[in-house]
Amino acid sequence: MDKNGRKVVTIRSALTVINHLLDPILLILTCGSSKVPETSIIRVDPKKTLHVPLKFASASMAVKPDGWNCSKTHEVKWQEAKSAGERINKLLKFDIFDTCYWMCLSIKREHYPEYEMLSGHTISFSPPLSVLNLLPVDAEFRIFNTKYAVSASKQVQITSVAELQVNTAENISFEVVTDRFVSVREVTVTKSSLTQKAGDVDRLHLRMKDSKKRYLDMYCSLSIGSSGSVLLALWVSFAFINLISTVLVELQVPYWIVNKSGIPLIIKQEATNGIAAG
Question: How many domains does the chain fold into?
Answer: 2
CA distances, 158 to each of 85, 132, 165 (Å):
29, 11, 11
Mean local confidence (pLDDT), 79-95:
90
143 and 227, same domain (yes or no): yes
The pLDDT tens digits for 229-248 are 888 998 886 544 444 434 44
The last residue of one of the domains, among 126, 146, 172, is 126
- Name the pLDDT band for 162 (thresholds 50, 70, 90): low
- Name the pLDDT band for 275 (thresholds 50, 70, 90): low
83 and 168, same domain (yes or no): no
- Name the pLDDT band for 42 (thresholds 50, 70, 90): very high
Report the b/e string of 235-267 with b at 16+ CB within 10 A.
Answer: bbeeeeeeeeeeeeeeeeeeeeeeeeeeeeeee
* pLDDT at res. 271: 57
Mean local confidence (pLDDT), 91-114:
87
* pLDDT at res. 175: 93
**Residue 138 pLDDT exceeds 70:** yes
35 and 67, same domain (yes or no): yes
Provide the pairing of β-strand 187-189 with 155-158: unpaired
- Domain, as residue range, for 159: 129-234
* pLDDT at res. 249: 41
Provide the pairing of β-strand 139-143 with 146-150: antiparallel
* pLDDT at res. 35: 75
Instruction: Tell me whether residue 247 is in a domain.
Output: no
Mean pLDDT of the chain: 82
* pLDDT at res. 56: 93
What's phi and psi for 190, nearest 5 deg? -80, 165
Instruction: Tell me whether residue 178 is in a domain.
Output: yes
What percent of the chain is modeled with pLDDT above 90? 34
The pLDDT tens digits for 49-79 are 999 999 999 899 999 999 888 888 999 999 9
* pLDDT at res. 216: 85
Instruction: Tell me whether residue 276 is in a domain.
Output: no
* pLDDT at res. 173: 85
Contact at 8 Å (CB) between 74 and 123? no
* pLDDT at res. 60: 93
CA distance 234 to 142: 13
- Name the pLDDT band for 250 (thresholds 50, 70, 90): very low
Instruction: Tell me whether residue 10 is in a domain.
Output: no
The last residue of one of the domains, among 65, 95, 126, is 126
85-94, 108-117, 135-144, 269-278: segment of lowest average pLDDT: 269-278
Instruction: Tell me whether residue 267 is in a domain.
Output: no
Residues with Cβ within 8 Å of 263's Cβ and at least 6 positions away in sequence, in order, are none
* pLDDT at res. 41: 94
The last residue of one of the domains, among 85, 104, 126, is 126
109 and 136, same domain (yes or no): no
More confident residue, 268 or 52: 52
Instruction: Tell me whether residue 278 is in a domain.
Output: no
Instruction: Tell me whether residue 218 is in a domain.
Output: yes
Three-state SS for 213-238 is CCEEEEEEEEEECCCCCEEEEEEEEE
Instruction: Tell me whether residue 93 is in a domain.
Output: yes
The pTM score is 0.77
Mean local confidence (pLDDT), 104-113:
90
More confident residue, 64 or 98: 64
